Amino acid sequence: MKRILCYGDSNTFGCTSIFAEGGPGRLDREHRWPCLLQKELGGGYEIIEEGLNGRTTAYDEPGRPERNGAGFLPGCIDARMPLDLVIITLGTNDAKHGFGLSSDDTANGIRRLVGIIRERTAGRESAILIAAPVPMTEEALKDPVNTDMDSILKTREFAAKFERLAEELGCGFMDLAEIACTELVDGIHLSERAHAAAAKAYAAKIRELGF
């Protein structure tokens, strides 16, 4: 049984539009990409969902320390061992203008997560796949509390920087913008169709990596 941890933010959690009446909800299991990935891969795989709305790579948000991806990851890894593969799909929340982070800061956050995974899985080291999130679109500017044009531009820089980092660190890499770039329901979150496309792309990459 291959055990795969999907470590991400609201687009791994399955968050719906933040502009929906009554606030965002969550897609059901029939539409979230980790659950669809389980169906794509079938028996012999266990897909572990670990998405959280607002999760950053490695940075604190005032009043929400549990959103720091680096802070939560060690215990998450320990609780889920053994793991054959960890998929990291993070970065979008780092681009909130209140953080004042650059795309290089976000890449360094990913670097820190890779280090944590390798430290916690030493002896039976897990493989790592870094997935660059879909860049935000201008629709996200409807949420000026969190998003400005600089936020959007930073997310457009992630793929190139994450790919270089993955090559340097010996990790797998994929760019979700190649799969779902026009499928954002609010400029941030994936549509149901994008979740389905992402699941197929993750499955193909997992097989390409030899799992």
* pLDDT band (50, 70, 90) for residue 182: low
Q: What pLDDT, on a 0 to 100 scale, did the predictor assign at position 75?
A: 98
Q: How many folded domains does the chain comprise?
A: 1
In angstroms, the CA 91 to CA 88 distance is 9
161: which residues sit within 8 A by CB, 6+ positions away? 103, 104, 106, 107
Q: Which of 127, 134, 123 is CA-nearest to residue 162?
A: 134
pTM of the predicted structure, to 2 decimals: 0.96
Indicate whether 117 pLDDT > 70: yes
Judge whether residue 69 has pLDDT over 70: yes
Coil, strand, or helix at residue 21?
coil
Res 22: pLDDT: 86
What value does the mean pLDDT of the chain take?
96
Q: Indicate which CATH number applies to the domain containing 195.
A: 3.40.50.1110
* pLDDT > 70? residue 80: yes
pLDDT of residue 4: 98
pLDDT in tens, 138-179: 999 999 999 999 999 999 999 999 999 999 999 999 999 998
Kindly give the interhelix angle for 149-169 and 103-120, rounded to the nearest 10 degrees. Answer: 40
Look up the domain containing 162 and give its range: 2-208
* DSSP E strand boundaries for 38-143: 45-51, 85-89, 127-132
pLDDT at 34 over 70: yes
pLDDT-above-90 percentage for the chain = 93
> Alpha-carbon distance 2 to 83, whole Å?
8
